[in-house]
A and B are shown apart, each in its own frame.
Chain A
Amino acid sequence: MSSLTGASAVDHVPDPSGHSPLGGARASTGRLGDRLFGGAATGAGLLVIAIVTLIAVFLLSQAVPALSRNGANFLTSTEWNVAGDHPRFGIANLLWTTVASSVIAMLIAVPLGVGVALFVTQYAPRWLSRPAASLVDLLAAVPSIVYGLWGAYVFGPHITGLQSGLSSVLGWIPFFSNSTGGVDSSGTIFFIGIVLSIMVLPIVTALSREVFAQTPATHKEAALALGATRWEMIRTAVLPFGRPGVISASMLGLGRALGETVAVAIILSSLANGTGWSFSLFNGGETFASKIANNAGEFDSPQKTGAFIAAGLVLFVLTFIVNAIARIVIERRKAFTE
């Protein structure tokens, strides 16, 4: 009978020399190696927490002076004028573009990634599953600038037809209405969402594949023995078992999509100053990361830098929230599946 803590029955029996028995997670033989390892592991954990805290402190300390001089509402304004004595800047546009493009990416990448993972683990013959898995993993090794250039120069010109088709048929939905910002090329939120989905795909696929492969054979055999077809077996045994894994895979992927910089900066067309607010996905814009990257060369005053760092802080918080939600969802699922 092993438990989660790894303590076994032996740990509860006093050792021959009369030392007290080991207990639970604090189990230790008192040897040097044990203490060293325990210390190192604790140190690593604390280090991560310290780094994240320090990043947050750095972002805050840089952002606060600029924010305090901001003449516009930081969260709801769509202006972005960070120079001068009366800066006015807000992140509404950046937030919308970032979230919208990432959501599109997830809508495409998650179903596709789960499908690929199921194929590789459940359907594909052995000789095919290995190479197929490696090929998908290779996608993750392509640098993002390559995706950016490929998207802008190769894939982009082919997407404009689809975009104008969608907007002429579904134009009555605000998301698909015609671009108001003067963006007619492929540099739209919609298109960058598609490119991001390809970049996210290997992350979702690789993690889902690993979890699906862990499905206990007994569960699967039980389902099949009860007369389930292969699809029913997947639905009743594999998917419920893998759900927490798929969720964390999606969140990792979402993290990448939210923070992707170079490809977005190359592909996405930015909007001219004073362009009105639009929910259209066939519009341009800038994400937090691409905005910072585009302007990093001209950070010539602390105030300007601070404003961009404030935007970076929002991205940081956004990613944090997304991960927190994922944690909560996974914890709740666990309660039901175990």
Chain B
Amino acid sequence: MKTLTSRRVARLSGVALVGSLALSACGSDNNSTTTAGAGSNGSSSSSAGASSSAGGSAGVACEKGTLSGEGSTAQQNAIEEVISQFQDACEGATVNYNPTGSGAGIKQFNAGQVDFAGSDSALKTEMKDGVVEQAAADKQCGSPAWNLPMVTGPIAVAYKLNGVDKLILTPDVIAKIFLGQITTWNDPAIAKVNPGVTLPSTAIKVFFRSDESGTTENFTKYLNGAAPKVWTADPAKKWTGKGEGKEKTAGVAGAVKATEGGITYAEWSAAKDNNLSMAQVDNGAGAVTLTGESAGKAVAAAKQVGTGNNIKLALDYTTKAAGTYPIVLVTYEIVCSKGKDPAKAALTKAFLKQFSSPEQQKALEAIGYAPLPAEVAAKVSSAIDALS
């Protein structure tokens, strides 16, 4: 009954009342994001969404209940933003997310403790430490567990160097810096890719994450993929390069901010928040600045290795496609394709629908995430529709 009236409200708002009514409309995707010029745009899409759900597959409407998730800290800011939007729009729906780390999230999910897991890497299909994650998750769900890419987190190579605002780095140079093979900023290898830039002779101080982290894993995946001759260590959550370890993203970003000549890898949002300079990455097709769009292209170029609606992506770190920023991590929501509890399944579906909606994804860019590119978003959306 409530959903019916609210759909009617949503439709009405699409026609006439753009502003405040749309805010109260459940499931509408344009709530409270005040991007310039999005007003009419957003409301028309919300009415479209509402009518399609009224006519077709069981809805993008609000559901009541409590949903709990746990996992990746890399998507913490994104999911908290989505949760607050979702809860504002949907009275009676509560979503809790406990950012304890990808490994812990998967472990809790496989133990049936949480309804969904957030993870920086998809469920592993090979045996690791005595567990096959995908098999364990399938068993717990009683149905295949799906990896749904939801948030793209670009990883910035952030540095602090007075007087150098624009710095271009190639994969080999990045790998050598983080291995301690290049120790000063005016090293010929850096100078070679930065013609016309005056580099000081400051020592390079590398900071890394002292905690085990998905950011480290994805960054080393990139180094291992793009500069295999220099970076020979296997990608791991534990740092295998050189440098000085600081705790969590806040620790490394803060250390670089306080240290002249410092460099680190950190989520885009952290680099932005701390006003750190970010290196442009030249993968072979010219230097690319980190933007939501350039990072999104890397995700668009990824191959899908999962089957059907299990959208597991394999990023191509060596990509030479123009304008693609290659160092990104994709964080997934891991859900049961057939939920054990119908009410929870419906709530999960409504929440993920909100998460993957173009407006919501666009809004995430403001807090340092890249929106899912259209092709991937379409796949994710149809996978969510297939959840039951």
A and B bind: yes
- Cross-interface CB contact of B245 among A153, A270, A302, A303, cutoff 8 Å: A270
Q: Are B243 and A182 in contact (CB under 8 A)?
A: yes
Of the listed residues A271, A273, A297, A302, the one surrounded by the most CB atoms of chain B closer than 10 A to its CB is A297
A 282-303 to B, binary, CB cutoff 8 A, 1 in contact else 0: 0010100000001111111111
The distance in angstroms between the C-alpha atoms of A304 and B103, with both chains bound, is 11
Report B-chain residues with C-beta under 8 Å of the C-beta of A84: 129
A157 interface contact, C-beta 8 A = yes
Q: Are A304 and B129 in contact (CB under 8 A)?
A: yes
Q: Are B211 and A294 in contact (CB under 8 A)?
A: yes
A 159-186 to B, binary, CB cutoff 8 A, 1 in contact else 0: 0000000000000000000000111110
A187 interface contact, C-beta 8 A = yes
Q: Are A300 and B104 in contact (CB under 8 A)?
A: yes
The distance in angstroms between the C-alpha atoms of A272 and B241, with both chains bound, is 6
Q: Are A286 and B236 in contact (CB under 8 A)?
A: no
- Distance in angstroms from B307 CB to nearest chain A CB is 24
B 230-258 to A, binary, CB cutoff 8 A, 1 in contact else 0: 00000011111111111100010011001
The distance in angstroms between the C-alpha atoms of A183 and B245, with both chains bound, is 9
A7 interface contact, C-beta 8 A = no
Residue in chain B with minimal CB distance to A285: B245
A266 interface contact, C-beta 8 A = yes
Q: Are B205 and A265 in contact (CB under 8 A)?
A: no
Report B-chain residues with C-beta under 8 Å of the C-beta of A309: none
Q: Are A83 and B129 in contact (CB under 8 A)?
A: yes
- Distance in angstroms from B312 CB to nearest chain A CB is 18
Residue in chain A with minimal CB distance to B233: A273
Q: Are A297 and B100 in contact (CB under 8 A)?
A: yes
- Distance in angstroms from B224 CB to nearest chain A CB is 15
- From known contacts A300-B104, A301-B130, A303-B129, infer whether A266 and B251 are also in contact, taking CB-CB under 8 Å: yes
B107 interface contact, C-beta 8 A = yes
- Distance in angstroms from A152 CB to nearest chain B CB is 7
Docked complex: A55-86 residues within 8 A CB-CB of B? 81, 83-84
| Given A284-B245, A298-B237, A299-B104, 14 new contacts (CB under 8 A) | A83-B238, A181-B244, A182-B180, A182-B242, A187-B255, A269-B246, A270-B246, A271-B244, A272-B244, A294-B211, A297-B102, A298-B212, A299-B103, A303-B129
- Distance in angstroms from A62 CB to nearest chain B CB is 15
B131 interface contact, C-beta 8 A = yes
Report B-chain residues with C-beta under 8 Å of the C-beta of A184: 205, 244, 259
- Cross-interface CB contact of A265 among B106, B238, B247, cutoff 8 Å: B247
Residue in chain A with minimal CB distance to B251: A266
Q: Which residues of A contact B (CB under 8 A)?
A: 81, 83-84, 152-153, 157, 181-185, 187, 265-266, 269-273, 284, 286, 294-304
Residue in chain B with minimal CB distance to A152: B254
Q: Are B210 and A286 in contact (CB under 8 A)?
A: yes
Docked complex: B161-220 residues within 8 A CB-CB of A? 180, 205-206, 208, 210-213
Interface SS of chain B: loop
B 106-121 to A, binary, CB cutoff 8 A, 1 in contact else 0: 1100000000000000
The distance in angstroms between the C-alpha atoms of A273 and B211, with both chains bound, is 13
Report A-chain residues with C-beta under 8 Å of the C-beta of B131: 300-301
- Distance in angstroms from A315 CB to nearest chain B CB is 18
B358 interface contact, C-beta 8 A = no
Q: Are B259 and A297 in contact (CB under 8 A)?
A: no
Report A-chain residues with C-beta under 8 Å of the C-beta of B309: none
- Distance in angstroms from B209 CB to nearest chain A CB is 9
Q: Are A300 and B129 in contact (CB under 8 A)?
A: yes
B 73-109 to A, binary, CB cutoff 8 A, 1 in contact else 0: 1000000000000000000000000001111101100
B128 interface contact, C-beta 8 A = yes
Residue in chain B with minimal CB distance to A304: B129
Residue in chain B with minimal CB distance to A264: B247
The distance in angstroms between the C-alpha atoms of A270 and B211, with both chains bound, is 9
The distance in angstroms between the C-alpha atoms of A184 and B255, with both chains bound, is 11
The distance in angstroms between the C-alpha atoms of A221 and B294, with both chains bound, is 82
- Cross-interface CB contact of B103 among A153, A298, A303, cutoff 8 Å: A298
- Distance in angstroms from A288 CB to nearest chain B CB is 14
8 closest cross-chain pairs (CB), A and B:
A297-B101, A270-B245, A301-B129, A300-B103, A270-B210, A298-B212, A298-B103, A294-B211
Report B-chain residues with C-beta under 8 Å of the C-beta of A298: 101-104, 211-213, 237
